Amino acid sequence: AQKVTQAQTEISVVEKEDVTLDCVYETRDTTYYLFWYKQPPSGELVFLIRRNSFDEQNEISGRYSWNFQKSTSSFNFTITASQVVDSAVYFCALSEAIGDDKIIFGKGTRLHILP
Amino acid sequence: NAGVMQNPRHLVRRRGQEARLRCSPMKGHSHVYWYRQLPEEGLKFMVYLQKENIIDESGMPKERFSAEFPKEGPSILRIQQVVRGDSAAYFCASSPPRFLAGVYEQFFGPGTRLTVL
């Protein structure tokens, strides 16, 4: 069965600090996708990244970076020099690459960036 | 190219009433997914539809919930005789046919927030 675990329910950091959000996943598939979404207080879901299971290269996009480690089934997300606007709930998610495409979400990590 | 549209954005119903949530997929998308987000929870898959077909409804509650995606018009998620526990945000996502996309992706709508009084 597929499962996504985000052990950190809530994190608070002071602005400009770096913060890492952890994500551990379980799947029996060899081909799958991993995602991160941001849900700001306004409630919509903002897509951040999709990663194919065959691509273990780390990715950097501005202040955001992702560390994909198949050996530990983890897909962690780091925000560098955090800003107040980064305050949101962040969801890690998993989907089979072949199949009915449903996305399995973690329970989310609520991130507070304090001014 | 407009994104996934959902309406209404907010819906208030009294216990026992019916709720109808609409989702218009992106142009050219023939696959629709519905997810439910209970308060303080992650999104949970409910149902996956293609035009006129339900492909996977493994996440749908057995009673009172139904979904359709007709040949013409939006996808509808229908909740009959709503109860307080149905209060949640309901998100719709759409994706293009697999053969048109080298990598599939689901595009999410803004959600409908249902409140049952």
Chain A residues whose beta carbon lies within 8 Å of the beta carbon of residue B55: 100
pLDDT band at A16 (very low <50, low <70, confident <90, very high): very high
Q: Which residue of B has its CA nearest to A102?
A: B45
| Residue keyed to tokens 């149902």 | B47
The number of residues in chain B equals: 117
Q: Is B34 on the interface with A (CB under 8 A)?
A: no
Q: How many Å lie between the alpha carbon of B35 and the closest alpha carbon of chain A?
A: 9
* CB-nearest partner of A102 from B41, B56, B110: B56
pLDDT score recorded for residue B102: 53
pLDDT score recorded for residue B1: 54
Chain B residues whose beta carbon lies within 8 Å of the beta carbon of residue A52: 103
Report the run of H or E that residue B13 belongs to, with start and end: strand B10-13
* CB-nearest partner of A101 from B48, B91, B111: B48
Residue type, B56: D
Q: How many Å lie between the alpha carbon of B59 and the closest alpha carbon of chain A?
A: 10
With contact defined as beta carbons under 8 Å apart, do B115 and B99 qualify? no
pLDDT score recorded for residue B112: 97
Low-confidence ranges of chain B (pLDDT < 50): none
Q: What percent of chain A has pLDDT over 90?
A: 72
3-class SS of residue A31? coil
Strands (E), A45-108: 46-52, 59-61, 64-69, 74-79, 88-96, 103-105
Q: What is the pLDDT of residues A23-77, one digit of tens each?
A: 999 998 888 999 999 999 988 999 999 888 888 888 889 999 999 999 999 999 9
* CB-nearest partner of B55 from A4, A52, A100: A100
Angle of CA points A70, A75, A78, to nearest 5°: 140
pLDDT score recorded for residue A23: 98
User: How many C-beta atoms lie closer than 10 Å to residue A41's C-beta?
Assistant: 7
Whether the per-residue pLDDT at A100 is higher than 80: the answer is no
With contact defined as beta carbons under 8 Å apart, do A45 and A114 qualify? no
pLDDT band at A94 (very low <50, low <70, confident <90, very high): very high
